[in-house]
Structure 1
Amino acid sequence: MQAWICDNPVGPQALSWKDAPTPTPKAGEVLVAIKAASLNFPDLLIVQNKYQMKPPTPFVPGAEFAGVVEVVGEGVTHLQPGDAVAAFAGLGGFGTHAVVSAALLMPLPGGFSFPDAAAFLCTYGTTYHGLIDRAALQPGETVLVLGAAGGVGTAAIQIAKAAGARVIAAASTDEKCALCRELGADATINYSHGDLREQIKTLTDGKGPDVVYDPVGGDLAEPVFRSIAWRGRYLVIGFAQGSIPALPLNLPLLKGASLVGVFWGEFARREPKKNSAALAQLAGWYAQGKIKPVIEHQLPMSELKHAFDLMAARQVRGKVVLTT
């Protein structure tokens, strides 16, 4: 097999494409021939040694991928060679093959393309867990999505609309806002200019959003939390802006609001039955055409470093997918 190897986590420039022995799956594992892998923000952090998980070197980055089962290990009965699968395994995706725990694999229904599947589990799993499970989003409520043109942001627009919510999508350019409207957003905010709080106030008739979906963090968090509705739920998804905000704790008190952490990977590990049910719902919505990953860039696996450059420059709408 071949893979991008991280020997020294100082950034994407240190990755190298190398030959490696094709691994043999152990009991409970599966060898997957990778057809497509997607880039997520934690993939950038992990090769910069900035992520909470710090794997020993050398390692193959790439948390999310899709492909075909080649070999099943002892005790694996629900998968067979030739099955199409998707995985969010944390590592191993940026190569031609990976060994994965069978429990982490999602069998793909017919009609699910490998690029879509590679861009599906993390963004849609995270977003469903956040909006439906953690925020208990109800039809008719208003959701404000920050970073709405990114991977999880575009998923949040689609899932919130599928759940019957009103969506206000906030992004950094007019072009990104236009994409959000194409995906079904009811209103948009370009937060690179104008008074963000005033725009939120106007679009919610002074009430504020019931749910805030925030994968951005940074200096947007406090003004947005100050704008949240009574009993609002503020979902902490990630910190794409780079800095982790600190909020005065009197704000949730005064608003009767909740600050809610969303860690889908840990949820999937601790509550696998609930996660499987969520993924089944999402697969159904995909088949019905209600949700579909936005893939702006589909590149060959050899262009991984260019893909990282696009992500670091915040030039990606939706997801970047790499194919073998």
Structure 2
Amino acid sequence: MIWKAGIIKHKKESRISVSFEKKTELINRVKQIEDARWSQTLKIWHIPDTIENRIRFKIELIPTLSSEAITQIQKFADWLNSKRYSPNTIKTYTEALKSFLLFFKEKPVAEITNEDVICYNNQYILQNNLSSSYQNQIVNAIKLYFATVLDTKIEIDKIHRPRREKVLPNVLSKEEVKQILNAHTNLKHKTMLSLIYSCGLRRSELINLKPTDIDSKRGIVIIRQGKGKKDRIVPLSQKILQMLREYYLGYKPKLWLFEGQNAGEKYSEYSLQSVLKQALKKVGNKKPVTLHWLRHSYATHLLESGTDLRFIQELLGHNSSKTTEVYTHVSTKSLQQIKSPFDDL
């Protein structure tokens, strides 16, 4: 047997470990699996613990999950797909529903009540110290699933959400951003990180860019089908345009603006995260910086330079102005004008 697979816990997350003979061909096959990662500590490859991956590696599909639950999860996935939900949303919602139905494995789906939802929150979510954002994902999945299922005792409007935590976005100073963006000598790596910051992109938006989305004559970048399946445009600075031209001449991408090792293949999200990680290591930045920090920093720096909040909302592609208003709480422009009474002591 070529592959050996099993369930492991890696950084408090359920993953599937994949062991095999060290051959380039096999390594490349594993890399094709979404979110496949190499653990330097464990010396193994590991992939997300999903129904699809369990089937792929012939791991028992959650022994106690009933056949009814498996059927319902598949029906839910089919419904989401027919409504053209994004692959990431379908994956998130079906995994959330799987967790919920597994908790009530002995109970027919039609018999699940609102009291059961409360029980699940208390005995699973809270007891396992899972985040309120994860709980909110579960609630979203449950409400949407039961809205599509007939003959249920669930009263959808009475399913409550957790109180939202007030968490401020993480923001880097301009000096820190400059250090990170200049860390790489590799033009491709430098251009990717610079474009994320200069346009406030999500990582998926960067990866899905095509060369034709860079409109140099109009000085814009076209973001197609971003979060919420919305198109938007963002301004393109002359500085990043020059960098993109140098990159294009050097790499000559065919289908996607940033491609992987094989022509016509998207650059992977994991590899993009690795590019950032390498940059942080080079400059000695020990903060737990993620790619989204660059987007947060872009928005905050725009606000501090006097850009109207309504324009920032459009540039980021936010549905609600309330989402954008959070940056007013991390902007230091007004705070720096406040004199501490300590200075007068």
Q: TM-score, normalised by structure 1?
A: 0.26
Higher relative contact order (CA 8 A, sep 6+): 1
Higher strand share: 1
Higher alpha-carbon Rg: 2
Q: TM-score, normalised by structure 2?
A: 0.25
